[in-house]
Structure 1
Amino acid sequence: MRADQLPYSSLFSGSRATEVNLPFEKSVQLSLERAKAIVQSYAFQIEDVLETPSAALWNMHIDPIMLIDGGAATYASIQVNLTAGTLSEYLKGQPYLRKTIEDILAFRVLAHYCLTEVGHGLDAINMETVALALPEGGFDLHTPSESAAKMMPPTSPIGMPSVAIVFAKLQGDKQNYGIRPFVVPLSDGSKLFHGIRTRVLPMRGGSAPVNHSLTYFNHVKLPQSALLGPMNSLPPGAEAERQNFLAVIWRAATGALALGGMGISALERAAYIAGRYSQHRMIGSVANPSPIIQFRTQHTPVLVALAQAMVSKEFWKFSIRMFTDPSVEHRVKHAYAAVFKATVIHHSQTANLELSERLGARGLFQFSDIVSQYNVVRGISIAEGDILGLCIRLVSELLLGRYSLLPSTNPSSLLARHESGVFSELKDLLKQADHHRGDTFNRFILPQCERMVRAIGHRMAFDAAVSAGLDSRVTDLYLASAMKQDAAWYILGAHLTLTDQYIQEDRAIQAALPYLNEWLEATDVGPYVQNPVLSPQHWQSFVEKLPVHEAPRVRASVDFFPARL
């Protein structure tokens, strides 16, 4: 089945409201079946997941089908990008990996990526899991403490054979080998293999359940072939360990960009749901009702989300070009991925939160999709690189001059001036800091890192949209919405009073408003958002399937309350 046929299939077209009440295990199984259908619909080949991925990998992540079920998206992205993608990097030197990669891409086995630990998330470079090289060959994989348990991967058996890429400190011969990835079979689908133990974590709040787990290894024996890459020792020094770590987890950078792309579909779906709801939701007398879409507070967040989605699509294309350009060094590619993810996911989180509130009481329920989608996007903000951590690392490296990003193609634009102004502020603060790991840096620069990265992202997104010839109504509205995020700077740095900014935003909204319905239709997400709030007909169909409780019928002559004496 083709990917564009999936929303019409029985696997995806069921009742969202019914799914909310599924037992945990059935919900997990449904998400897994959907993930399998998504991955198989793209018919991935090994060539699609190499270091420079094909369009298929990127397209899967911006496919709206991924937002119907956040659990399915989790399984699908781990399967294709993190595990198959990581293994493909070692295929040339270890050709026997081909069968494993093919099984993963065909979804004959479930794949996992075990990197972070209970005690080591952003500082996974300090992980405790150990792989001891044995004198006779092979390795002893061990979890030495509770804080070393691998955190989050859904490794508990759910009916499908599973394999994992497990990261561990490789030790032996008194040499420093750094952190290395190992291929570890986990289960036959019903039971875990000897020495492996998992604990299933409780459900995440508000999103489709995934059997996230804690995973422990008790002196699990691995063959020599389990190690990915050659067993070469590292040069002395922390920098060598850091560079090795970044090299072996490189696929997480691809994931940061790929998962960031899901923010585009999340913007479109949220805008479509809130827009359609607002068009049919009436207020006023029965004789003279008016749709709430007429109010500025109702149509503004819908229009802004639509403009952000259209601009972000051009930003996405630009970011992929930079990320796949062989002339761009790896750490700079990682920087472009970080900027894209931080910017677009922030747009998406803000829009989903506000638009869920525009649905009133119905926005509180998972059947409206937006509130559960918000929680999916929250997960994306942490997965494959926590956004705050990515921003701190990126801004630190830019301020220290370790590399630079492409300058603006519209240097006189307000967003380019804003980016330059914020960067200058941080450079001045850096001059007062004794060290980039010192107290001054911690107190004054770290809290500004996300703001700085979003300033870069807003400028890049605007430049990409202008270069692509996007309608000025779209770019003007995007500009106004971006300025609103740092209004104080534009007062001081661009001499635009708040009133000036309000007027600029009003003009952009007024120009865009006549195109609201056209922009909603252009998203093409209608088949992916069939939920009860879209229309009165959807709502009535939903209500008729709800459980009914009512008093039994009684004869009118019956006394309900006995007379008191």
Structure 2
Amino acid sequence: MCAGVVSKLLPPRCGTSPLDYAVTSFHNVRLPMSAFLGVSTDAPRDGHGLLHAYVWRTVVGQVTIGVIALTGMKAASYIGVGYSMRRRVQGRGSAKVPIMSFRTQQLPMLYITARSHVLDAWTPVLLRQFTSPDLSTSVRQGLAAVYKTTVCRLMTQYCREVGERLGAQGTFVHNIIGRIEVPSGFSIAEGDIMTIGIRLFSHLLQKRYHLPAPSHDDSILSLHSKCVYDHCLTMLQGFPEGHRDARFNSLILPQCHRGVFALGCAYAYGCAVDAGVPQPLLELFQCAAIKQDPLWYMQHAAFSEDMLLLKEDSAVRAALPKIQEYVDQFDISGAAVNVPILGRDGLESWMAGLETYTTSGVQGIEFGGATAPRRASYDSKYKL
């Protein structure tokens, strides 16, 4: 370590740990000019604008984090479906049935598969917009915030549900799901999704800039997004001090994440329709989005609980026969080839490689006052 630099290594964080972390401080360290990441050392005319230009690197990171989180969702879908098809339990008769035959197992697997396909259809469109020179920096930054917020929020919810349906085996690191379902690092890295959502939605309400409208803006998800925005805008216009009014903090800030997430769902759904994602998966995506804000859909779209249950059941029945085909389309089997719970051979091979503790001795056991002989010698390789 260079003179004047102090670094304290932090313990590994929960869930995914792609990097080591440390708290580093600098004491009277003179840096060379090559360490300067800016353009000029002259005093800027617009310090705020220069700061945003410098932190653009974190905006690129927001998109990158979203893509990585989506890959995690695909892996969770592939592993969850594979395990659910392989794992069997005793049925009513003599034959054993896969746990995938139960609706409580089907729903989490189908929902994460549907979400992954829909978000996968949105990603290339988002990347084209994000790299387009025709869009302003503010708009591209806003699109990145919407993408990261939507993907990371869905990953948080659905990977946890899949992990729960894998039982105790899903909690172990070697089966991957246990690491994926603790994705708080994804949500915080390169901009906490709550913070970037507040900033984006506040700017949209103040009309500093406008984001592109979702394709298929006549869908119920687009209507939901528009109504959430309009409702918050109406409240803001009633505040005498605008966004500096105390009620902005108490009434609108809690709605910012909801508004950004609703817009992301509308974006993803429109892109999925254009990309030709199978209709059963689109229906499941709609059901999942409705479950995020059921009161709004009940009040403004007359979508009752019974209607949602029937819509969900119809989509599940249509999607279930093709579930293996849907997860195979992720082309992620190579990354999951070493996951033990995906096959009996893989599990037995993995078990054989575990560190083993045993003994060659015989424990003395008393039977009716008589004591069986015991041997105290232990195997030199394995110790009890």
Percent same amino acid at aligned positions?
Answer: 32
TM-score under structure 2 normalisation? 0.90
Q: Contact 2:217–2:270 (CA<8 Å) still a contact in 1?
A: no
1:238-253 matched pairs, under 5 angstroms: 240-253=46-59
SS of aligned partner of 1:290: strand
Cα distance in 1 for residues equivalent to 2:52 and 2:368: 77
Cα distance in 2 for residues equivalent to 1:287 and 1:296: 21
Q: Which residue is 1:125 aligned to?
A: none
Q: Which residue is 2:347 aligned to?
A: 539
Question: How many pairs align?
Answer: 367
Q: Which residue is 2:317 aligned to?
A: 510
- Alpha-carbon shift at residue 350 of structure 1 (Å): 1.2
Question: Which residue identity does 1:531 align to in structure 2?
Answer: V
- Alpha-carbon shift at residue 546 of structure 1 (Å): 3.0
- Alpha-carbon shift at residue 553 of structure 1 (Å): 4.4
Q: Contact 1:203–1:209 (CA<8 Å) still a contact in 2?
A: no
Cα distance in 1 for residues equivalent to 2:73 and 2:31: 45
Q: Contact 2:340–2:346 (CA<8 Å) still a contact in 1?
A: yes
> Residue 403 of structure 1 is aligned with which of 205, 209, 218?
209
Q: Which residue is 1:216 aligned to?
A: 25
Cα distance in 2 for residues equivalent to 1:429 and 1:555: 77
1:358-392 deviation per Cα after TM superposition (whole angstroms, max 9, x unaligned)? 101111211221111223x3212111111111100
> Residue 266 of structure 2 is aligned with which of 459, 463, 467?
459
Question: Which residue identity does 2:118 align to in structure 1?
Answer: V
Distance of aligned partners of 1:554 and 1:195 in 2 relative to their CA distance in 1, 3 Å threshold: closer
Question: Which residue identity does 1:418 align to in structure 2?
Answer: H
TM-score under structure 1 normalisation? 0.62
1:219-368 matched pairs, under 5 angstroms: 219-227=28-36, 228-235=38-45, 240-284=46-90, 287-368=94-175
- Alpha-carbon shift at residue 343 of structure 1 (Å): 0.6
Distance of aligned partners of 1:226 and 1:477 in 2 relative to their CA distance in 1, 3 Å threshold: same
Q: Which has the higher contact order (CA 8 A, sep 6+)?
A: 2
Q: Which residue is 1:202 aligned to?
A: 11
1:306-348 deviation per Cα after TM superposition (whole angstroms, max 9, x unaligned)? 1111111121111111111101000110000010111111111
Question: Which residue identity does 1:259 align to in structure 2?
Answer: I
Distance of aligned partners of 1:561 and 1:343 in 2 relative to their CA distance in 1, 3 Å threshold: farther
Task: Point out where structure 1 has 5 or more consecutive residues left out of the alignment.
Answer: 1-191
> Residue 478 of structure 1 is aligned with which of 257, 269, 285?
285
Relative to its length, the structure with more helix (as a share) is 2
Question: Which residue identity does 1:216 align to in structure 2?
Answer: S
Q: Which residue is 2:327 aligned to?
A: 520
- Alpha-carbon shift at residue 479 of structure 1 (Å): 1.5
Relative to its length, the structure with more strand (as a share) is 1
Q: Contact 1:531–1:538 (CA<8 Å) still a contact in 2?
A: yes
Distance of aligned partners of 1:260 and 1:555 in 2 relative to their CA distance in 1, 3 Å threshold: closer
- Alpha-carbon shift at residue 257 of structure 1 (Å): 0.7
Q: Contact 1:432–1:440 (CA<8 Å) still a contact in 2?
A: no
Cα distance in 2 for residues equivalent to 1:300 and 1:313: 20
Task: Point out where structure 2 has 5 or more consecutive residues left out of the alignment.
Answer: 372-384
Question: Which residue identity does 1:523 align to in structure 2?
Answer: F
RMSD (CA atoms): 2.1
SS of aligned partner of 2:149: helix
1:5-404 matched pairs, under 5 angstroms: 192-208=1-17, 210-227=19-36, 228-235=38-45, 240-284=46-90, 287-375=94-182, 377-404=183-210
